[in-house]
A and B are shown apart, each in its own frame.
Chain A
Amino acid sequence: ELKVEQNPLFLSMQEGKNYTIYCNYSTTSDRLYWYRQDPGKSLESLFVLLSNGAVKQEGRLMASLDTKARLSTLHITAAVHDLSATYFCAVSAYSGAGSYQLTFGKGTKLSVIP
């Protein structure tokens, strides 16, 4: 059974600071996804990482993937309040009959304090 672990689960940080969220997974996969969820809202796709060494950046967020270590990181640079949300990583793995199931981590609830 594929397991996806995120840490930390809760993160409170001051504006302007940097921090990294970690996502470890238990199977060989080179497809990892990061989503953002605001309270009471749905999931918004942030990054799609499709190969070892992939790095993507959008604004103050940068995601990377190391398939050998089965690890992805989401780095936050100079945090601002608008980044407060819950961030999920998800891994896709083949589950038969043409289906690639997404397995999600528990999420990291980020609070950026002024």
Chain B
Amino acid sequence: KAGVTQTPRYLIKTRGQQVTLSCSPISGHRSVSWYQQTPGQGLQFLFEYFSETQRNKGNFPGRFSGRQFSNSRSEMNVSTLELGDSALYLCASSAEALRALGSYEQYFGPGTRLTVT
């Protein structure tokens, strides 16, 4: 079974621009979560999507948004980029079948390394 895939893997943008990152979950997984990882703040939760609906959101400004499509693929968008948005953005998927067993384990993709200059 293929793992979580993310595109692009690396991205360089300029302050003020916007960016869209893409994530394809493991086949059959309908929940997709996004995380931002920086050396200073560590891993921080951005949002979670399930069945095309955002069902949880972390403490990030409105410049960070996302969506999920009917095939469970997800995109996140960051508008008006700031230098502080430079980070590794990780996408993770999870299976409802595991939830039934009490596990909320998430499987992570390789990440998109975003550099804002």
Tell me the A residues contacting B by CB distance below 8 Å: 31, 33, 35, 41-45, 48, 50, 88, 90, 92, 95-107
Contact A88 B43 (CB under 8 A): yes
Q: Is B64 an interface residue (CB 8 A)?
A: no
Contact B90 A102 (CB under 8 A): no
* Chain B contact patch, size range: 20 to 34
**Per-position binary interface string of chain B over residues 36-59, scored 1 when its CB falls under 8 Å from any chain A CB and 0 otherwise:** 000000110100101000011010
Complex alpha-carbon distance, A103 and B43, angstroms:
8
Residues of B near A95 (CB, < 8 A) are 56
Contact B48 A42 (CB under 8 A): no
Complex alpha-carbon distance, A74 and B106, angstroms:
19
Q: Is B61 an interface residue (CB 8 A)?
A: no
Complex alpha-carbon distance, A33 and B103, angstroms:
9
Q: Could you show 19 A-B contacts with beta carbons less than 8 Å apart?
A: A31-B102, A33-B106, A41-B110, A42-B109, A42-B111, A43-B90, A43-B108, A45-B105, A45-B108, A48-B105, A50-B101, A88-B43, A92-B104, A96-B55, A96-B56, A99-B56, A101-B33, A102-B104, A104-B42
